[in-house]
Structure 1
Amino acid sequence: MIRNVLGSVLALAGAAAAVLSPFRDWYDGRLGRHYRVDELFTGITAGRPGPLGSILVAFLFAAVLAVVGVVLRSRLLVAAAGVVVLGFTVLWMVRQGESVGSLTVAGDGSGLGWGVAGAVAGGVLLLSGAAVMSGRRGAGRRSVRKGHDRPYAAPGSENPDTWPPTQEPGPSVQTSTLPEPEPELYTGPDPAERHRPGPGPGPGSGSGSGSAPDADGRPHG
């Protein structure tokens, strides 16, 4: 986070320096916005371009790239903006040197001006900002780290339909499948008959008459 903030500050400062540089002297009191973009490829002339044909357009394009790169935290876009600024500045120095024979730095303003220094400083700041920024990779690492810190989900919670899990086959206690024995039925005399009184003596039998049978079953005489 701190690296992105510091890199963004450097990138925005470099974009501002690059945009302001064409409004200052570049060589012999001539402003940077008085140089045409196509003169950087064909040669320096004394003509003055319109607002949309000067070197200022290239630096505005680089500033837009830098702002978009800061918003998106893209190191590639910020670095591309720095390359554009430094590339056009170096290309101008080559063409200007061919035009006048050599580039000089004089205290009276007859040589290179502060505009060129501002353009070079802007390009260097843009490249420095791209190098300092951490980009989106830091956010990706934080999200991965947060994912590792999360507790693991309980088994089967992803698919509740399959919970609880099926039990794997293993040794188990088998119950007997034999039929239980049925209780035996009582076939003896009815217990109620035992307590029922027997029949009394028949008619004609006296109270003392009658004899009990002997052991052989015959009655005594």
Structure 2
Amino acid sequence: MVRNVLGSILALIGATAAVSSPFRAWYDGRHGRYYRLGDLFTGAGVTDARATLFGSLLLPFVVAAAATLIGIVLRSRLLVAFAGVVVLAFTVLWMVRVGQAEGRMVVAGDGSGLGLGVAGAVVGGALVLLGAAVMSGRQKGRPRQPEYADQGYAGDSGPEPTHFTDPVPPPAPTLDGPQHTLEGPMQPYADQPPYPDPPYEEPPYEEGQQGHPGGQPGDKP
């Protein structure tokens, strides 16, 4: 956040310097707003013809300032850097064309050579590029991790998974129902032999009852 604010301030100062530079002397006391923009792209080079306000060097600088403002709002380092490149590119192109037309390019203290307008354009473009380098740009949001859904079973007394990629532990065994081993169902008291069947005992018979050894056939009870 601090880098974006500092970079934005530098870019705004540079854009302001670039836009105000055509209203100062560029070469031999002639202001930048008097140079025709079309002369920079023709073979004839720079002429003495006077340009209209938005047909002069002011136009690319205004476009660069607008791109700087949009880049600051959108936190786009690429757009701000593009604005700085535009300012420096048109300034260098103008210097090449003036050098071809004049045969030389000098810096004189009496104002007959390069003026403060050129210095303002160069410094402004450099500040815009510096602001783009200082800005951190738009921060991309981190992908949200999916929340872990509880997949435990009823009666599960085991520990819950600590991460959404951990496998769900199996349910802990309970004491309800028969217990099983590898050899089959577990019997209670497996180390003791089963109880033997009780000995058979005939019910007591009274003397004289049918079926008793001492009774006679045909006796009635």
Instruction: Spell out the pairing of 1:8-87 with structure 2 (5 A cutoff).
Output: 8-42=8-42, 43-87=45-89
- Deviation string 1:59-84 (CA, Å, 9 cap, x unpaired) is 00000000001111110010000000
Note the C-alpha offset of 1:165: 4.0
- Deviation string 1:112-150 (CA, Å, 9 cap, x unpaired) is 00000000000000000000000013xx2xx439x68xx
Distance in 2 of aligned mates of 1:135 and 1:12 = 16
Residue segments in structure 1 that go unaligned for 5+ positions in a row: 157-162, 177-221
One-letter identity of the residue aligned with 1:5: V
Distance in 1 of aligned mates of 2:76 and 2:147 = 35
Which protein shows a greater Rg?
Answer: 1
Instruction: Spell out the pairing of 1:78-97 with structure 2 (5 A cutoff).
Output: 78-97=80-99
Which of 172, 177, 198 is 1:174 aligned to? 177
One-letter identity of the residue aligned with 2:177: Q
**By percentage of residues, which structure has more helix?**
1
Distance in 1 of aligned mates of 2:15 and 2:137 = 18
One-letter identity of the residue aligned with 1:9: I
Note the C-alpha offset of 1:38: 1.0
- Deviation string 1:146-191 (CA, Å, 9 cap, x unpaired) is x68xxx85533xxxxxx65477588665359xxxxxxxxxxxxxxx
Which of 136, 149, 154 is 1:155 aligned to? 149
The number of residue pairs the alignment matches comes to 162
Distance in 1 of aligned mates of 2:172 and 2:71 = 63
Q: Say whether residues 1:116 and 2:118 are aligned partners.
A: yes
Residue segments in structure 2 that go unaligned for 5+ positions in a row: 157-169, 180-221
TM normalised by structure 2 equals 0.67
User: RMSD over aligned Cα, in angstroms?
Assistant: 2.4
